[in-house]
Amino acid sequence: MRSFSDYLRSIDDAAFLSLFIARPDLITPVPPDIASLAVRACSAPSLARAIDSLNQWQFQVLEAAGALTEPFTLKSLVALTDKAASGALEHLISVGLIYPSDDGMRLPTQLRDVIGNEPAALGPVSMAKLKLAELDNAPTDAKKVLERLIWGPPRGSVGDIKNPGPGVAWLLERKFLVPLDQRTVILPREVGIYLRGGKTHKENFINPPVLAGTKRDERQVNLAAIANISTVLRWVEELLNFWAEEPADALRAGGLGVRDLKVIANHLGVDESCTAFITELAYLTSLISIDADDRIMPSTKFDIWLMQTPADRWQVLASAWLITSRVSGLVGRAEAKNVAALGPELDRVNASRVRGLTLSILVENQSIAPDATSFIELMNWRAPVRRNSSLQEELSTWTLREAEWLGITGQGAISKYGVGFLNGDDLNLINDDLPKTVDHILIQSDNTAIAPGPLEHEISQQLAIMAEIESRGGATVYRFSEATIRRALDHGKTGDEIKTFLIKTSKTPMPQPLEYLIIDVAKKHGKLRVGNTSSFIRCEDTALISQIMNDKKLEVLALRRIAPEVVICDHDATDAMRILRESGYLPAAESSNGLMLSGPRVNRALTKPRPPRVIGEIEVPSEDSLNTAIRAIRTGEKSSHKQTRLRQVASEALGALPRSTANETMDLVNRFIQEEKSLSIGYADNNGSVTHRIIDPIRVSAGALIARDHATGEVQSFRIPRITGVAPL
């Protein structure tokens, strides 16, 4: 057994199972046989993925193995590292990064290229025989040169290789330095290991660093987490209700503009990084869609989401966040000024992997809110910075922050909801632990109302139309204003209906100022009517028409009066209404037949939401899929082995085939058809060259042999005069 293919043929199904769990890319798709599996396992991309899964100690052992000459033994590997290398070696063998052969341990082909030509910052193997003991008596100048090269990099620059100085000259003379070119020398591997005291690394990181942090009370952690869960569900709902009223405009290049991001951040009362995270959650779960007019609006899936239980709604958000390759933390980052929320630039291939690893560390250290520096040290030991390592530290920090926003953690420590979510448990306990909803508000004398807890959904939706949220927390404060009352009237409410709802819902009497505000706005609302010509403005009060014609704030509309009660302009009706409202008027929309357009509006995108793609590593298949893949490979290997044997026999038979005439061939073929034997035949092609075929003869018809060709599996026709010889298998 010398090749990696031979090693794979020698292992049992349990070893295959552990290999495929660690490296699922090897069976995506399932290879036809073990030879194909070995080629895939030895490819540079697959080896790089396998190396990414190693911790710092396992990688140090792999580097030490790369510094040894093949084949090597466990004893030589331990001599370069530590006794604990035996455990790491078992893992490296199980994931196919080292394999045992008849004469010792070997590395798969291309692995040295993946880990680099200078493993552990050691130079190449010397071609000359070295007397390493002479290094103990090296001159002072030579020792100074060696000190700079011991721990790498092993290359150094000299002014002129022909006149390098006494120290370098002494080392070059004894082959302790090797010239690469006129200005560069390199320290051979044997010299580097000798100077390091027979070791490959200055320090062996065998054990992970201990995670430092603050001990948290479990009850307080869960209370903080359930509050965070309640908050994130409210954030998403408020965001989508806001965009249903005032859709945001998507940028031409894709994504949400800075201005719209600030608007929604002000509405939610959170900073822009948190706002970007909330918008990404809605995007990942297809709760928003971008319509044909590039407007960002809630999709119809939002209504379905609202009908689910809080636990189901939260699980939808958390599941999408856990697997996505999109990184909302990039929005607003100084080094990425042009990255927009919902934009196409947020994908990072290692985002999901870092997110999963971060949460697994929290699960292993429950009740601890980790210290940032200590957490990064442990993260770097668990996943040393190598391929696709950009942003790894920032990704970990962002994951901790986002897990807190989601309620997976509370006060920095993993919560019972987070543990249950990661374990795939039933999360109905969220429904029981969330604060109970209330069905009333307390209206204050300053045109505000206090909700002493989370409101029931229908009351919350109604109140959101009539008032703006002023502050959030355990109790939510709503403020009534002229604009919010006008919005309720636009939604088809009458002044009496608004008053009736508030009187019924409030446990405190309605103050007189609020009642007067509702009556006053309702009286003015709809006097002014706006419709489409481009647009017209109609009012039965000619004095009001004269007022807007003379209002300098409305000059931008370029109004033209075509009748005592009608004014037209070139602006769209929506824009005209917005400008009029900004100038203090209360217009209402009007249809082409003169009816006032007011009523409940549910703005939803007509286009189907397109959830973002997930860019990342291959997920581990289920155990059934893994066992099926192993059976398929075993079956393919048997078939390949049989075909190889048949080709060998056929080749030998073909060499021994007599040159027969067409009549002799016909007699032999007829005999073998009756005996139902597989045949090896020589067959001349159109160019006259003879190839060998393995066939199962069926019949002879019209001077041709009808047979199934083993190479293609198809029934083909072979002309008798072209068959040069026949032999049974």
Share of the chain above pLDDT 70, in %: 93
Burial of 447 (0-12, 13-18, 19+ CB in 10 A): middle
- Say yes or no to pLDDT of 656 above 90: no
Q: What is the pLDDT of residue 233?
A: 93
User: What average pLDDT does range 370-385 have in this prediction?
Assistant: 90
Q: Which long-range contacts (CB under 8 A, 24 or more apart) does 558-566 make?
A: 565/538, 565/539, 565/540, 566/536, 566/537, 566/538
- Pick from 715, 464, 714: nearest CA to 600: 464
Give the C-alpha separation, 437 to 432, whole Å: 11
More confident position, 255 or 608: 255
pLDDT confidence tier of residue 420, bands split at 50, 70 and 90? very high
User: What average pLDDT does range 167-178 have in this prediction?
Assistant: 89
Q: What is the pLDDT of residue 387?
A: 62
Give the C-alpha separation, 297 to 415, whole Å: 33
Burial of 51 (0-12, 13-18, 19+ CB in 10 A): buried
Q: What is the pLDDT of residues 346-358, one digit of tens each?
A: 888 888 889 999 9
Q: What is the pLDDT of residue 597?
A: 67
Q: What is the pLDDT of residue 115?
A: 87
- Say yes or no to pLDDT of 557 above 80: yes
Lowest-pLDDT range, 207-221, 578-592, 604-618, 624-638? 604-618
Q: H helices within 246-300, ranges in order? A: 258-268, 272-284
- Give CA torsion, residues 47, 49, 54, 59, to 10 deg: 40
- Say yes or no to pLDDT of 452 above 60: yes
Q: What is the pLDDT of residue 160?
A: 77
Instruction: Enumerate the domain spans of the chain.
Output: 132-195, 218-433, 442-521, 529-589, 625-728
Give the C-alpha separation, 563 to 98, whole Å: 91
Lowest-pLDDT range, 128-137, 236-245, 652-661, 720-729? 652-661
pLDDT confidence tier of residue 377, bands split at 50, 70 and 90? very high
Give the C-alpha separation, 193 to 82, whole Å: 14
SS3 of residue 153 by DSSP:
coil
pLDDT confidence tier of residue 1, bands split at 50, 70 and 90? low
pLDDT confidence tier of residue 651, bands split at 50, 70 and 90? low
pTM: 0.74
Q: Are 465 and 600 in contact (CB under 8 A)?
A: no
More confident position, 654 or 417: 417
Q: What is the pLDDT of residue 469?
A: 82
- Give CA torsion, residues 6, 7, 12, 14, to 10 deg: -140
Q: What is the pLDDT of residues 461-491, one digit of tens each?
A: 788 888 888 877 778 888 999 888 888 888 7
Share of the chain above pLDDT 90, in %: 36
Q: What is the pLDDT of residue 598?
A: 63
Q: What is the pLDDT of residue 222?
A: 94
Q: What is the pLDDT of residue 126?
A: 87
Question: Is domain 625-728 in CATH 3.90.1150.10, yes or no?
Answer: no
- When the pLDDT of each residue in the chain is averaged and rounded to a whole number, the result is 86
Q: What is the pLDDT of residue 675?
A: 77
Q: What is the pLDDT of residue 389?
A: 63
Three-state secondary structure readout of 73-125: CHHHHHHHCCCCHHHHHHHHHHCCCCEEECCEEECCCCHHHHHCCCHHHCCCC
Give the C-alpha separation, 408 to 416, whole Å: 8
Q: What is the pLDDT of residues 224-233, one digit of tens each?
A: 999 999 999 9
Eight-state DSSP code of residue 327: -
SS3 of residue 136 by DSSP:
helix
User: What average pLDDT does range 35-64 have in this prediction?
Assistant: 92
How many CA atoms lie within 13 Å of 385's alpha carbon, on the beta-carbon side? 11
